[in-house]
């Protein structure tokens, strides 16, 4: 052996070569539709007992919108196990999210097989749904141009050139009206004939939301580097030339969710990116610019799901050579944000006979936004640490209220028992006492 090639030095060299292979450009590439499908099915083949692939629908041009699910019981909702989703490539020419989610799927499988306790626990305690491409048709248009010639708008919309993030039913206007009239604050009704008013990709995602009780979500975009949180639409559209902050009732938790991703990201939290500055790397959507019919607002107003929008790269279609750096910059953030689904409170809503109650409304005093229990009677409410008064109510039942203190760790479990209206309770029993009568309640 050449002099100076000591054993520790050789080990360090080999370790460095192995690490280099793990993040080398050869492992990273842009995936056309067929490549993406093969990559997802390869993950499913490598980890068959913790994954499932299903389609939520088809694009305008007939491409499946495939979702890869991770769970210890794929295909089954387990009571008290929250549902989480990542959505990428909503704008076809914003491709980094698509590649990150493909890589994230491979990462979850590989780390599970390697015995990584953090990842194993996430998969066992969470039902994770990953939709790498919501707009496969738009991606193909953008990919035909390639990274070198991709424009700002080519491939952004679907095959009909419709911007999918301006295509959801507009529930903000109804919400802002209800705020003034003490109206409903959650699960707002959809307009008549809404299915004829949206694109096939949007319809598929809305049906997806109806079929799964998602708790937390993120929507991956490009063109800036910032974590954007609701509301996206300004309360006062008459204002011209300036932006206004549009806070939700859960503004504090949304800010915390955005900061979780930003600070776990390698450079988002620094603020200065792409020629713009965002304090802590986060922004309220409407404070940045007002957007109507967006997906993150729709999640909050129509479902139990809290969603933020992640702008992840200055370059909408970065070259393949940039993907390793982007993956290392986002890897921890993708995991840390997913872990946030396990904070706040969760529990079962049931009656006096221990029957689960679905669609019960869970309200938190001081926060004007309710969530509902799922078909199994379980509910999930994201909350910051603090003490809260929580009430469950359902038609035909007396409300049930509890006071709970939420800590910084995992969700506190709080069962809420509602009693049927009209139930006859036994009268108080009289107990004789030598000195004075005492009345006790059963």
Does residue 19 carry a pLDDT above 80?
no
Report, as an integer, the average pLDDT of 365-373: 98
Report, as an integer, the average pLDDT of 297-308: 98
- What secondary structure does DSSP assign to 54-71, as a single string? EEEEE-TT--EEEEEEE-
Residues paired with 214 in a beta bridge: 83
Does residue 46 carry a pLDDT above 60?
yes
Bridging pattern class, strands 367-372 and 361-364? antiparallel
Does residue 299 carry a pLDDT above 50?
yes
Q: How confident is the model at residue 431 (pLDDT cuts 50, 70, 90)?
A: very low
Residue 237: what pLDDT?
67
Q: Which of 311, 326, 339, 361 is catalytic?
A: 311
Q: What percent of the chain has pLDDT over 90?
A: 84
Quick one: 33-342 is in which CATH superfamily? Zn peptidases (3.40.630.10)
What are the tokens at 204?
Answer: 């598929």
Q: Are the C-beta atoms of 215 and 380 separated by less than 8 Å?
A: yes
Residue 42: what pLDDT?
97
Residue 211: what pLDDT?
97
Of residues 164 and 8, which shows the higher confidence score? 164
pLDDT, tens only, 124-149: 999 999 999 999 999 999 999 877 66
Does residue 195 carry a pLDDT above 60?
yes
Residue 243: what pLDDT?
77
Residue 2: what pLDDT?
38
Q: Are the C-beta atoms of 304 and 213 separated by less than 8 Å?
A: yes
Residue 145: what pLDDT?
85
Give the Cα-Cα-Cα angle 304, 306, 307 (nearest 5 degrees).
135
Residue 4: what pLDDT?
40
CATH number for domain 345-420, candidates 2.60.40.1120, 3.30.470.20, 3.20.20.70, 3.40.50.300: 2.60.40.1120
Does residue 318 carry a pLDDT above 80?
yes
What are the tokens at 181?
Answer: 């009239």
Does residue 26 carry a pLDDT above 50?
no
pLDDT, tens only, 65-118: 999 999 999 999 999 999 999 999 999 999 999 999 999 999 999 999 999 999
Residue 198: what pLDDT?
98
Q: Can you tell me the distance from the alpha carbon of 392 to that of 398, in angstroms, rounded to the nearest whole number?
A: 9
Residue 9: what pLDDT?
40
Lowest mean pLDDT among 214-218, 290-294, 402-406, 421-425: 421-425
Look at the chain and count its residues. 442
Q: What percent of the chain has pLDDT over 70?
A: 88
Q: How confident is the model at residue 12 (pLDDT cuts 50, 70, 90)?
A: very low
Q: Can you tell me the distance from the alpha carbon of 247 to that of 24, in angstroms, rounded to the nearest whole number?
A: 42
Does residue 53 carry a pLDDT above 80?
yes
- What secondary structure does DSSP assign to 12-55, as a single string? HHHHHHHHHHHT-GGG-----HHHHHHHHHHHHHHSTTSEEEEE
Domain edges within the chain: 33-342, 345-420
Burial class (CB in 10 A: 0-12, 13-18, 19+), 262: buried
Query: Fold match between 33-342 and 345-420?
Result: no
78 catalytically annotated: no
Q: How confident is the model at residue 439 (pLDDT cuts 50, 70, 90)?
A: very low
pLDDT, tens only, 167-187: 999 999 999 999 999 999 999
Q: What are phi and psi of 220, to 5 degrees?
A: -95, 120
Residues 6+ apart with CB under 8 A from 333: 260, 261, 262, 264, 265, 268
Does residue 386 carry a pLDDT above 60?
yes
Torsion angle of C-alpha atoms 320, 324, 328, 333, degrees rounded to 10: 30
Q: What is the mean pLDDT of the chain?
A: 90
How far does CA 236 lie from the centroid of its chain? 27
């Amino acid at each position: 052996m050449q002099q100076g090639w000591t054993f520790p030095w050789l080990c360090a060299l080999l370790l460095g070569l192995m690490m280099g292979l793990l993040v080398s450009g050869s492992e990273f590439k842009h995936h056309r539709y067929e490549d993406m499908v093969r990559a997802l099915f390869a993950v499913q083949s490598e980890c068959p007992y913790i994954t499932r692939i299903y389609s939520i629908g088809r694009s305008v041009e007939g491409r499946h919108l495939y979702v890869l699910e991770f769970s210890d019981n794929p295909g089954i909702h387990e009571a008290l196990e929250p549902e989480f989703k990542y959505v990428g490539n909503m704008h076809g020419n914003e491709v980094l999210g698509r590649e990150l989610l493909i890589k994230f799927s491979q990462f979850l499988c590989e780390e599970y097989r390697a015995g990584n306790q953090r990842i194993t626990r996430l998969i066992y305690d969470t039902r994770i749904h990953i939709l790498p491409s919501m707009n496969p048709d738009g991606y193909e248009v953008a990919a035909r141009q390639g990274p070198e010639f991709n424009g700002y708008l080519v491939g952004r919309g679907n095959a009909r050139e419709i911007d999918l993030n301006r295509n959801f039913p507009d529930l903000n206007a109804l919400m802002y009206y209800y705020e003034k009239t003490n109206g409903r604050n959650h699960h707002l009704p959809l307009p008549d004939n809404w299915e004829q008013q949206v694109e096939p990709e949007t319809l598929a995602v809305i049906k997806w939301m109806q079929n799964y009780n998602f708790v937390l979500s993120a929507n991956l975009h490009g063109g800036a580097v910032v974590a954007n949180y609701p509301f996206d639409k300004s309360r006062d559209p008459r204002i011209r030339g300036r932006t206004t902050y549009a806070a939700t009732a859960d503004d504090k938790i949304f800010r915390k969710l955005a900061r979780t991703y930003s600070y776990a990201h390698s450079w988002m939290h620094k603020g200065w990116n792409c020629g713009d500055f965002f304090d802590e790397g986060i922004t309220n959507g409407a404070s940045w610019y007002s957007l109507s019919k967006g997906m993150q607002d729709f999640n909050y107003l129509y479902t139990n799901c809290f969603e933020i929008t992640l702008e992840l790269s200055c370059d909408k279609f970065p070259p393949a050579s940039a993907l390793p750096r982007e993956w290392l910059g986002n890897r921890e953030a993708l995991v840390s944000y997913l872990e946030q689904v396990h904070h706040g409170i969760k529990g079962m809503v049931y009656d006096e006979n221990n029957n689960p109650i679905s669609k019960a409304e869970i309200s938190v005093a001081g926060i004007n936004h309710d969530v509902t229990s799922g078909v199994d009677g379980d509910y999930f409410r994201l909350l910051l640490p603090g003490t809260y008064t929580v009430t469950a109510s359902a038609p035909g039942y007396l409300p049930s209220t509890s006071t709970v203190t939420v800590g910084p760790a995992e969700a506190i479990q709080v069962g809420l028992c509602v009693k049927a209206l009209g139930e006859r309770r036994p009268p108080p029993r009289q107990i004789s006492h030598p000195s004075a009568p005492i009345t006790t309640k059963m």
